[in-house]
């Protein structure tokens, strides 16, 4: 009898333990649900202007991206720390990108541990790159595609044979795990160099963020440089411009942070540009090259995380962030071009004066250090090409 009573008591004790565990799990789930409802209610019930301030896009664009990314994001739900809905993941990530708020701040808003927030943002950025890169960030690989870009530059910016404008900026970061001194740049903070090639309509054609901040010549070490040198991208062949006997190559436009190449044009140094024809060349090149400055300025102003000292531990995460924001930039140009590109840098043609873009008031990106010209055979050929464009701009290619 006494043994039976003890058995019954043991069973009751076990049952109580099971019930307590179930109740504890229910409370944990309710807490998680409550944590997600608070920020969502504030974000979704606010007006469109508030939503745009925290996401850098309209609710319509957000919903379209959610439909595209939902399946991939839902597969990333963690069974250990609890399920985080795809919509919440996107709210977290876009708020981080748009505002540049720290992960500690986001942890307070979304009521999740800081490390979990960082993991979710990294996973979401990776999903954006994997799902959308082929559609919104694919470099041309046929002559026809390149010639279409060249026609746009001719029609919109009066620069023929142009395949794009290239520039670079330093993306700052801090990390306890990345200790390589070669990431320290000429201003003595850790960075990765972002290189971008942009078309005539301010869209990114190519983005690279793999070069260490301390590199003296990031472009020469880039995959794009190798591709141009080896013609892996099916660049159109040299051809005549109206009124010129010599054939000129199709080129990329750059500034003083790059070395002159037969396929890469940059302005004459101030000491060289003493004649009117060279000043005209510099004006025409700088005017067309402005598209890349505008693109980088608009993107970094809309997605302000790019301008902060990123708290990411792995280089691959920084690379994904740069590529993801470039993809979102191109996506938003296609979805809400007028609103997204508002505040571009323009020109007062009557007074030949530059009107600064709105993005300049809040832009702190650091560009590449100027590079001096090299006196070699390649440079001599490049100078000859530049002289050819100079002649064209002051003869049959002159703008009335």
DSSP string, 166-207: EEEEEEEB--SS---GGGB-TTSSBEEEEEEEE-TTS-EEEE
pTM: 0.86
> Smallest Cα–Cα separation from 307: which of 344, 362, 264?
362
3-state class of 261 per DSSP?
strand
- Is the pLDDT at 42 greater than 60? The verdict is no
132-151: average pLDDT? 96
Alpha-carbon distance values, 272 to 39, 279, 378 (Å): 58, 9, 19
Confidence band of 8 (pLDDT split at 50, 70, 90):
very low
According to the model, what pLDDT value does residue 4 have? 56
According to the model, what pLDDT value does residue 276 have? 93
- How many angstroms separate the CA atoms of 295 and 355, rounded? 16
- Return the higher-pLDDT residue of 351 and 96: 96
According to the model, what pLDDT value does residue 376 have? 66
- Return the higher-pLDDT residue of 313 and 284: 284
- Is the pLDDT at 367 greater than 90? The verdict is no
176-203: average pLDDT? 92
- How many angstroms separate the CA atoms of 373 and 386, rounded? 13
- Is the pLDDT at 39 greater than 80? The verdict is no
According to the model, what pLDDT value does residue 24 have? 58
According to the model, what pLDDT value does residue 75 have? 80
Contacts of 327 (CB under 8 A, 6+ apart): 128, 129, 132, 133, 136, 137
According to the model, what pLDDT value does residue 10 have? 55
Contacts of 85 (CB under 8 A, 6+ apart): 36, 74
Share above pLDDT 70 across residues of the chain, in percent, rounded to a whole number:
84
Q: At what angle do helices 103-110 and 114-136 cross, to 10 degrees?
A: 100
Instruction: Return the DSSP state at 302.
Output: H
Contact 116, 81 (CB under 8 A): yes
Confidence band of 357 (pLDDT split at 50, 70, 90):
confident
- Return the higher-pLDDT residue of 145 and 42: 145
According to the model, what pLDDT value does residue 17 have? 60
According to the model, what pLDDT value does residue 22 have? 59
Average pLDDT, the chain: 86
According to the model, what pLDDT value does residue 379 have? 84
279-287: average pLDDT? 95
pLDDT tens digits along 109-134? 998 999 999 999 999 999 999 999 99
- Is the pLDDT at 29 greater than 60? The verdict is no
3-state class of 353 per DSSP?
strand
């Amino acid at each position: 009898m006494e043994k039976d009573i003890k058995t019954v008591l043991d069973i009751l004790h076990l049952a109580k333990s099971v019930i307590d565990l179930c109740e504890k799990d229910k409370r944990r789930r309710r807490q998680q649900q409550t944590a997600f409802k608070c920020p969502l209610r504030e974000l979704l019930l606010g007006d469109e202007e508030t939503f745009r301030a925290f996401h850098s896009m309209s609710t319509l664009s957000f919903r379209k991206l959610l439909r595209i990314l939902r399946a991939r994001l839902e597969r990333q739900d963690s069974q250990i720390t609890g399920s985080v809905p795809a919509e919440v993941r996107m709210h977290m990530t876009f708020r981080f990108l748009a505002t540049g708020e720290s992960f500690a701040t986001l942890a307070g808003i979304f009521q999740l541990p800081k490390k979990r927030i960082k993991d979710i943002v990294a996973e979401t950025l990776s999903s954006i790159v994997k799902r959308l890169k082929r559609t919104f960030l694919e470099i041309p690989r046929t002559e026809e595609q390149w010639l279409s870009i060249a026609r746009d530059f001719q029609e919109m910016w009066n620069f023929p044979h142009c395949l794009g404008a290239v520039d670079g900026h330093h993306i700052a970061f801090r990390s306890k795990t990345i200790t390589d001194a070669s990431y320290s740049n000429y201003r003595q903070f850790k960075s990765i160099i972002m290189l971008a090639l942009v078309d005539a309509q301010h869209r990114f054609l190519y983005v690279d963020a793999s070069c260490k901040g301390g590199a003296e010549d990031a472009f020469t070490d880039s995959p794009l440089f190798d591709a141009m040198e080896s013609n892996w991208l099916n660049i159109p062949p040299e051809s005549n411009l109206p009124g010129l006997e010599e054939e000129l190559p199709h080129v990329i436009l750059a500034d003083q942070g790059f070395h002159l190449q037969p396929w890469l044009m940059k302005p004459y140094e101030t000491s060289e540009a003493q004649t009117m024809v060279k000043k005209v060349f510099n004006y025409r090149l700088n005017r067309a090259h402005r598209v890349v400055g505008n693109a980088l300025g608009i993107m970094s102003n809309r997605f302000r995380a790019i301008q902060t000292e990123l708290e990411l531990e792995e280089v691959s995460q920084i690379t994904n962030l740069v590529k993801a924001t470039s993809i979102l930039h191109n996506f938003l140009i296609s979805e809400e071009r007028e609103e997204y590109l508002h505040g571009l840098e323009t020109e007062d043609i009557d007074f030949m004066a530059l009107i600064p873009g709105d993005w300049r008031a809040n832009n702190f990106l650091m560009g590449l250090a100027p590079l001096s010209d090299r006196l070699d055979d390649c440079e001599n050929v490049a100078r000859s090409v530049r002289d050819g464009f100079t002649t064209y701009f002051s003869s049959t290619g002159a703008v009335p």
